[in-house]
Amino acid sequence: SAVISQKPSRDICQRGTSLTIQCQVDSQVTMMFWYRQQPGQSLTLIATANQGSEATYESGFVIDKFPISRPNLTFSTLTVSNMSPEDSSIYLCSVEDDGGRNTGELFFGEGSRLTVL
């Protein structure tokens, strides 16, 4: 199973600034997903990031607000741009690492908890 490390684990940010979250995986994976979990809520998929192609964003999320990079098969970044207090959430990186069995089993990082003041 994949081991996922996210940085930062938590941060406090000022309104109007941007923050980049890093996701490092200990194995090569094709599909990476970024989720957001607002306080007291369930997880919402932001985008799917595959290496070598632009990220695919879900309804309600746009590239200008959440630019994503996927430079190789073990790393991705999510930037939260021009932050407002409504962006205070836990942001989670997840990868599909099912040993090639195409089961859709996802592994999640511990998340990056952002608080925007």
Partner 1 sequence: DAKTTQPTSMDCAEGRAANLPCNHSTISGNEYVYWYRQIHSQGPQYIIHGLKNNETNEMASLIITEDRKSSTLILPHATLRDTAVYYCIVSVYKLSFGAGTTVTVRA
Residues that bind partner 1 (CB under 8 A): 4, 31, 33, 35, 42-45, 48, 92, 94, 96, 103-111
User: What contacts 29, CB < 8 A, 6 or more positions away?
Assistant: 2, 73, 74, 95, 96, 97
Q: 3-state SS of the chain: helix, strand, coil percent to 5?
A: 5, 50, 45
Give whichever of 17 and 30 is closer to partner 1, judged by the CB atom: 30
- State the nearest-atom distance from the C-beta of 15 to partner 1, in Å: 25
Tell me whether strands 112-116 and 10-13 are parallel, antiparallel or unpaired.
Answer: parallel
Q: Closest approach of Cβ 82 to partner 1, in Å?
A: 26
Q: How far apart are CA 74 and CA 63, in angstroms?
A: 21
Smaller CB separation from partner 1, 73 or 81: 73
Across-strand partners of 13? Answer: 116
Give the nearer residue to partner 1 in terms of CB position, either 37 or 81: 37
Residue 15 or 63: the one with the smaller Cβ distance to partner 1 is 63
**Who contacts 62 (Cβ-Cβ below 8 Å, separation ≥6)?**
none
CB of 74 to partner 1, least distance (A): 18
Minimum Å gap between C-beta 55 and partner 1 is 13
